[in-house]
Amino acid sequence: MRPRLVKLGVKKDQRISLIGLDEPDFTQDLEATGASLSRRLRRESDIIFFYARDPSELGRLAELRRYIKPNGAIWVLRRKGKGAAIKDTDVIEASLAARMVDNKIVAFSEELAAMRVVIRLVDR
pTM confidence score = 0.96
Per the structure, the complete domain to which residue 60 belongs is given by 4-123
What are 14-52's pLDDT values in tens digits?
999 999 999 999 999 999 999 999 999 999 999 999 999
**Looking at residue 64, which CATH number applies to its domain?**
3.40.50.150
Do β-strands 68-79 and 45-51 pair in parallel, antiparallel, or remain unpaired? parallel
Contact predicate 76/113, CB 8 Å: no
Residue 87: half-sphere exposure toward Cβ, Cα within 13 Å = 5
Q: Work out the average pLDDT over 114-124.
A: 94
Scored b (16 or more CB within 10 A) or e, 41-65 reads bbeebbbbbbbbeeeebbebbeebb
Whether 67 shows a pLDDT value over 90: the answer reads yes
Give me the percent of the chain exceeding a pLDDT of 90.
92
Q: How many domains does the chain have?
A: 1
Which strand ranges, in their side-by-side order, compose the sheet holding 15-19?
36-38, 15-19, 45-51, 68-79, 112-119, 100-107
State residue 82's pLDDT score.
86
The predicted pLDDT at position 1 comes to 67
Q: Which amino acid is at 33?
A: T
Is the pLDDT at 87 greater than 80, yes or no?
Answer: yes
Q: What is the pLDDT of residue 124?
A: 86
